[in-house]
Amino acid sequence: MPVTWHEATRELHLHNGQLSLVLGVLENGWLGQLHVGAPLDPASSYRHLGPSDFLGFSNRVDEPIGLVVPTPGSGDFRIPALVVEGPDGSTVLDLIYEGHRIIAGKPALDGLPSTYVEDAAEVTTVEIELGDRITGLRAFLTLTIYEDRPILARSIRLTNAGERPLIIRTAMSAALDLPDGPWELLAFSGAWARERHPHRARLLPGRRSLGSLRGATGHQQDPSLFLLRPGTDEVHGEGFALSLVYSGNFLAEAEVGPRGSTRARIGLHPDGFAWRLEPGATFTAPEAVLAWSDAGIEALSDAFHGLYRERLARGAWRNRPRPVLLNSWEGVYFDFDHERLVEMARATADLGAELFVLDDGWFGERDSDDSSLGDWVVDRRKLPGGLAPLAAEVEAMGLQFGLWIEPEMVSPRSRLFAEHPDWAIGVPGRPRTEMRQQLVLDLSRPEVVDHLEAAIADVLSSASIRYVKWDMNRNITEPYGGSLPPDRQGEFFHRYMLGTYELWRRLTTRFPEILFESCAGGGGRFDPGMLAYAPQAWTSDDTDAIERLSIQWGASHVYPLSSMAAHVSAVPNHQVGRVTPLATRAAVAFFGVFGYELDPRTLADAERAEIRAQIAFYREHRDVLQRGRFVRLRSPLGADDAAWMAVAPDRRTAIIAHVRILERPVPPPDRLRLRGLDPELIYRVAPWPGPDGEGVRRGGDLLMAVGLGLEPADPPTGAPRGDFTARIWVLTAG
């Protein structure tokens, strides 16, 4: 049982041999955090790691005391985890430990996505009850430790057991006190078309905040935060990582206090948030996931990959091989009709792809992005017969048919807006900010969710649709819930997310066989919350191979290959104008859920042949490329080259990619040291493409300790030289 309660010392120890969390009830009744991180012997007491005789902060202000649910106003001046305003307007709380209970399995969170188990034995969950006598606030802290993962999941539920309303101002999902420093913060930040670039810097006294106030997690920051000891690299050193299972406004923050200790917190962004908790009501905060390792960043990524692939993603497509698709967007944008799509699909089938996706522009009268969102009826000018005959023709070619939707949006030029102008988010009496000439529907209103469920379900039942790309192309401005009273407007952003999750839940439940991919102008809502409904996401609108190196490298810190859609597009690239070889574009896109995003009718014969070979290669190695262990070898950030690999779970097959970003004259001898292989095995190292049977035999030990020669001679490939060139090797044991 990985939860031990020591009655004599009032300590609660969660342990699984891979990490420990030790909590202690302090003398004043508060719940202290005595230790988090390295696994400790559960039989021992760790009281000495916390304060003795702690009766509150009087006369000991600024002590680096570890607290599990820190609150403001009682002498702890660091960032709080919970701020609740009582009937008297004060936010001072005295949260006293009331007891705890062990729960079988892992309970789901009300209305929110979360990680889960298939067998109660996979985890142990403990629910700790804390209470504030004066307000009647009860806080139920739920901690789940996985048996075989270095992972703890945490969430908090707040109930008003008092007689008067309370206002929740901050409800962080997790807080973490790290007694000694220094720490470095690694975060994944960027912009549209440049998402999730890693940024690492030493924490200085004061706060470093990451977050979003956009109504979506956004392109700008990933909802995660890694704290690393200086010197921690991919395979050495200690690190913690927090990741939030949520898709809306969030805050991830670390603060170094006056004595050098660090507190981190992650959860709903408190700015603009205020939740009115009526007597008897309960509020549930999203789930935060904590990973710990002393074996480097790779182990933290491994932990997230396994958990998010196996116990966050769900449904029929969780374990299924994902089809190779061709998406119409960059090929023809809005400019298509039935005939053109049929020709594209025919050319797609000829390439060996498996799914043809019709992107934006098939509904209303949408010839550009200035109209029709909300009018989910087929544009008969373009598709006179509707979607059903198109899907049938596509299927007759041996392809599946997929469709793009953007349910949360409405164009001012649309029938829906004419009928329900009040359904678009906006503050009455104030102008609305338009972005991409569209507005966001108020999904905090149940009738909007009901309408969208019916409208989208009609579309999805109207034809044989096997895949859906659910887009979301703008953020929320003038936040205001049309059905919320003035004193509940602080609930709007979170209620928007609850409505959105409800819509996802209903549609994915009604259409369990459809493969859903989430998208928000690329990676603007690529987060663990969405992964609970859609097992894959469009990683970025940037399809340039060189830009994608950094984007996929960054995203891979938290997200598994099976969640990252990656496509080959035409050159010059539409986002950056760069011309890269077709082979390089594929070499990068292979590592994820692979596809194309171009007009297959315009390909030259040689390109067609090359693409056929690429698709055949991907299909042959799809298991490794979608579900293998991803190993980051050389970072592309600010570098002249980059490399990564995917290894099959049994370590008998691996695919390696090396990309030369900038070629240099007279290059020094260079060897790429691999990781994750079996040192006992002999591998055939075959460059791809290459004649069958080509390759040299090398030991796993040698490939990891000495490396794979990057000079053309070993193995003899006549490797390409020049900027933006790529090489792939397939390693097969035996």
The site that binds ligand DGJ (CB under 6 A) totals a number of residues, namely 11
DSSP secondary structure string, 640-697? Answer: SEEEEEEE-TTSSEEEEEEEESS--SSPPP-EE---SS-TT-EEEEEEES--TT--EE
Least distance to ligand DGJ, CB of residue 40, Å: 46
Nearest approach in angstroms of CB 416 to ligand DGJ is: 17
Query: Nearest-CA neighbor of 216 among 481, 527, 434?
Result: 527
Dihedral over Cα of 454, 457, 459, 463: its sign: negative
Judge whether 144 and 256 are in contact, CB under 8 Å. Answer: no
Of these, 116, 192, 329, 594, which contacts ligand DGJ (CB under 6 A)? 329
604-633 residues near ligand DGJ, rule: CB under 6 A = none
- Using the structure block, give the residue that is written with the tokens 């002249």: 640
- 198 in contact with ligand DGJ (CB under 6 A): no
Tell me, yes or no, if 541 is annotated catalytic. yes
Residues 509-538 that bind ligand DGJ (CB under 6 A): 519, 521-522, 538
CB 362, min distance to ligand DGJ, A: 11
Is residue 364 a contact point for ligand DGJ (CB under 6 A)?
A: no
Confirm or reject binding of residue 181 to ligand DGJ (CB under 6 A).
Answer: no
Residues 445-504, interacting with ligand DGJ (CB under 6 A): 471, 473
Closer Cβ to ligand DGJ, 150 or 521, answer by number: 521
Per the residue annotation, which of 76, 222, 471, 544 is the catalytic one? Answer: 471
Q: What is the CB-side half-sphere exposure of residue 31 using CA atoms within 13 A?
A: 28
CB of 528 to ligand DGJ, least distance (A): 19
> Which CB atom, from 287 or from 542, has the smaller least distance to ligand DGJ?
542
For ligand DGJ, the closer CB: 5 or 333: 333
360 is a contact residue toward ligand DGJ (CB under 6 A): yes
For residues 402 and 715, which CB has a smaller minimum distance to ligand DGJ in the complex? 402
For residues 475 and 215, the answer to whether their CB atoms sit within 8 Å is yes
| Rounded distance between C-alpha atoms, residue 556 and residue 197, angstroms | 10
Q: Is 404 in the site for ligand DGJ (CB under 6 A)?
A: yes
According to DSSP, residue 466 is labeled -
Q: Which residue is nearest to ligand DGJ (CB)?
A: 360
**Residue given tokens 């933006």 in the structure block:** 724
* Least gap, CB of 436 to ligand DGJ (angstroms): 8
Measured CA to CA, the distance from residue 491 to residue 468 in angstroms comes to: 30
Give the pair of three-digit tokens for residue 236: 């050495």
Residue 352, amino acid:
G
Q: Which CB, 64 or 521, lies closer to ligand DGJ?
A: 521
Q: How far is the CB of 519 from ligand DGJ (least distance, A)?
A: 5
Taking the chain, what is the end-to-end CA distance rounded to the nearest angstrom?
41
Residue with token string 């950094």: 550
CB distance 240 to 20 below 8 Å: no
Using the minimum distance from each CB to ligand DGJ, give the nearer residue, 253 or 379. Answer: 379
Q: Provide the 10 A C-beta neighbour count for residue 253.
A: 21
Minimal distance, residue 461 CB to ligand DGJ, in Å: 22
Q: Which of these is catalytic: 541, 542, 544, 641? A: 541
Residue 701 among the catalytic residues: no
User: Residue written as tokens 């979360």?
Assistant: 114
Exposure letters 263-295 (e unless 16+ CB within 10 A, then b): bbbbbbbbeebbbbbeeeeebbbbbbbbbbbbb
**Binding flag, residue 359, ligand DGJ (CB under 6 A):** yes
3-class DSSP assignment, residue 459: helix
> Taking the complex as a whole, how short is the minimal distance between the CB of residue 364 and ligand DGJ, in angstroms?
13
Give dist(CA 631, CA 676) in Å, integer.
7
- Cβ proximity to ligand DGJ: between 232 and 327 the closer is 327
547 interacts with ligand DGJ by CB under 6 A? no
Is 404 or 496 the residue whose CB approaches ligand DGJ more closely? 404
As annotated, the active-site residues are: 471, 541
Residues forming the site for ligand DGJ (CB under 6 A): 329, 359-360, 404, 471, 473, 519, 521-522, 538, 541
